[in-house]
Amino acid sequence: MAAKHNDLVFSGVQPTGNLHLGNYLGAIVNFVKLQETHSCIYCVVDLHAITMPPSVWGGPEELARSTREVTAAFIAAGIDPKKNIIFNQSQVAGHAELTWVFNCVARIGWLNRMTQFKEKAGKDRENASVGLYDYPVLMASDILVYRATHVPVGEDQKQHLELTRDIAQKFNNDFAESIAARGYGEGFFPLPEPVITGPATRVMSLRDGTKKMSKSDASDYSRINLTDDADTIAQKVRKAKTDPEPLPSEEPGLAQRPEADNLVGIYAALAGKPKANVLAEFGGAQFSQFKSNLVDLAVTRLAPIAGEMKRLTQDPGYVDSVLIDGAARANVIASETMSAVKDIVGFIHKR
């Protein structure tokens, strides 16, 4: 019989550069919703951040600043740090420890198929860090060290979640006898499910509707940052690329119109309604009118978050206390899993 796993949500966000609307609508909005129904663990993944060269993540002061900023964004967006666990990854040793075991379970062929590695490594693959290559295995460990069952993410993380399931499954199979003999039931690790929902699971660049909105885009006009003020948001939306046609009144009319599709998706996600409802309201309107409504909506939704983030980042003592308290609670769960993993694999350890 497979072990019964209690529902538990885990997700992570990297402390690298600016948090943007894609991170917010694709992931953080769902983090906030899930806390109503689930126990949730939200992690600032600083170990993942250093897989790129220091010039990318900005060095030690910037990493610490970014870690506090992501934490502040979680809280400002509405995640309750008392009811849930918020912490930074490097404080809980279990993530790195389980990664080693999983490195010996995962296959090189599996990692060779990871598209994000190919994108991030670019042409000079020989010069990418070993950590960047191993990034998806660390991600599997993040989730499975808590034996989490649900993982809210944007569309771009789907392949990594599939790999996580493959690793969990292979560990369960490779150690099936040991798992059963030690009374852990059949499926020691759950096969976690991606939660990829809402009208904005893949928010695109405001300058090019075929490219993902990303922290690494050279143009700041390609994204709305969570820290942007009202004027900056207005400017970026007004300058966003569109096409000359008015908005369609039904969803099939968005096909082959990536920029229109993206702006409608953003509006829908910010308004908390399906795209079809947005089109029913704005079908036939010119972009100038739609954009000014979008600016109002975006400012109404995002300005309070930016304000609260600013207030929180001015109080690093409080933010650090959230991370330290969260790490202590995370560590209790992670240590329990690691102790079982050590039993299962045959590592002698203090109980």
Per the annotation, the verdict on 33 as an active-site residue is no
Using Cβ positions, the residue closest to ligand TYM within the complex turns out to be: 26
Structure tokens at 281: 């309201």
Q: Are 247 and 284 in contact (CB under 8 A)?
A: yes
- Which residue in the list 158, 170, 215, 273 is annotated as catalytic? 215
Q: What's the CA angle centered on 127, arms 122 and 128, to 5 degrees?
A: 65
Per the annotation, the verdict on 215 as an active-site residue is yes
Q: Is residue 45 a contact point for ligand TYM (CB under 6 A)? A: yes
Closest distance of CB 190 from ligand TYM, Å = 14
Q: Is residue 212 a contact point for ligand TYM (CB under 6 A)? A: yes
Structure tokens at 116: 């994000």
Burial 107-116 (b: 16+ CB within 10 A, else e): eeebbeebee
All residues at 6 or more sequence positions from 116 whose CB lies less than 8 Å from its CB, including other chains: 135, 136, 156, 159, 160
Q: Which of 44, 63, 114, 143 binds ligand TYM (CB under 6 A)?
A: 143
Q: Is residue 134 a contact point for ligand TYM (CB under 6 A)? A: no
Binding mask 101-130 for ligand TYM (x = CB under 6 A): ------------------------------
Q: Is residue 156 a contact point for ligand TYM (CB under 6 A)? A: yes
Per the annotation, the verdict on 212 as an active-site residue is yes
Site for ligand TYM, residues 163 to 202, rule: CB under 6 A: 201-202
Selection from 310, 265, 304 nearest residue 154 by Cα: 265
Structure tokens at 295: 């600016």
Please state, as a whole number, how many other Cβ atoms lie within 10 Å of the Cβ of residue 328. Answer: 13
Of 139 and 338, nearer to ligand TYM (C-beta) is: 139
Where on the chain is the footprint of ligand TYM (CB under 6 A)?
10-14, 22-23, 26-27, 45, 48, 139, 142-143, 151, 153-154, 156-157, 201-203, 212-213
Instruction: Show which residues are catalytic.
Output: 120, 212, 215
